Structure formats: C-alpha cells, structure tokens
C-alpha cells in the first residue's frame, strides 16, 4: 500500500485532537525508504497533535482535500534534521519547480520545518 500512496500528488493526513476528534489536512508526500514521508511547518497544528498521538490515517485526495480513496492507518515518527533535509530534497525532485520554490525558504531556516515518516499499520498493509 505504501507504493500506491507515495505515487499520489496529495494525501489527506488525518491527525487526532486530545478528545479524539479527527483533523484532516491535505499534504504533499514522498516515498521514504519503505515508508511515506510528509513535510510541514514546525509550528502547525498537525505537528502539535502528532506530539501527543502518533496515530494517523492517510487517503489519496485532491489539492483541496477531497478524499479520492480509502484511508489507511499508520504511525508517524518525527525525523531528524538530517532526514528532514533528505525529505526536502525528495519533495524538490517529485514536485519540481513548485517543490523547489516551497522548500527554498526552509533551506535558510531548517528549524522552521519538520518531516514525519509514516509506517502503515499491519491492518492497513495486510501483513
């Protein structure tokens, strides 16, 4: 399941509030090792929610977040600053000019962004 999702342009990343309320956000993604990686601003709500709860769901979606397929469950792991730099490079390769423009600012302030590797759970992968 990782491979089909990593080929998508956008996925709806759902994180969970303290009370369990799901919050979905469309994000870019790249294949990273045998996982999916997402890259975002360090101060975003999804990062705050992921500090408390590493459980997520991913579903293919449009730019505006309209879900196009079934969601799969996963667990997110915060990547190191070196891994974050590799994810930015993968974003630039996959999203070309748009990716380069968006990640360019992060090159000057690398602490302003973070990346998460998402491992799909056994239920999602059928393992």
List, in order, residues 6 or more apart from 91 with CB less than 8 Å away: 28, 30, 39, 99, 102, 103
Dist. CA 111–CA 61, nearest whole Å: 28
Please give the pLDDT value at position 2.
57
**Averaged pLDDT in 10-residue chunks for the chain of 127 residues:** 77 97 96 93 96 97 96 97 94 90 79 93 51
Q: What confidence score (pLDDT) does residue 125 get?
A: 40
Chain-centroid distance, C-alpha 17? 17
What pLDDT does residue 54 have?
98
**Vertex 103 angle, CA 100 and 106, to 5°:** 145
Residue 122 has what pLDDT?
A: 58
pLDDT of residue 3: 60
Complete domains list, the chain, with CATH: 2-121 (2.30.110.10)
């Amino acid at each position: 399941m990782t491979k089909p999702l990593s080929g998508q342009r956008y996925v709806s990343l759902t994180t969970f509030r303290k009370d369990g309320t799901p919050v979905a956000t469309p994000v870019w993604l790249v294949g990273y090792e045998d996982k999916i990686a997402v890259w975002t601003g360090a101060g975003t709500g999804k990062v705050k929610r992921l500090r408390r709860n590493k459980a997520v769901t991913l579903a293919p979606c449009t730019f505006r977040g309209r879900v196009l397929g079934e969601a799969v469950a996963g667990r997110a792991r915060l990547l190191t600053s070196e891994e974050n730099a590799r994810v930015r490079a993968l974003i630039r390769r996959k999203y070309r000019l748009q990716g380069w423009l968006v990640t360019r600012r992060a090159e000057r302030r690398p602490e302003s962004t973070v990346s998460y590797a998402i491992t799909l759970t056994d239920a999602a992968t059928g393992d």
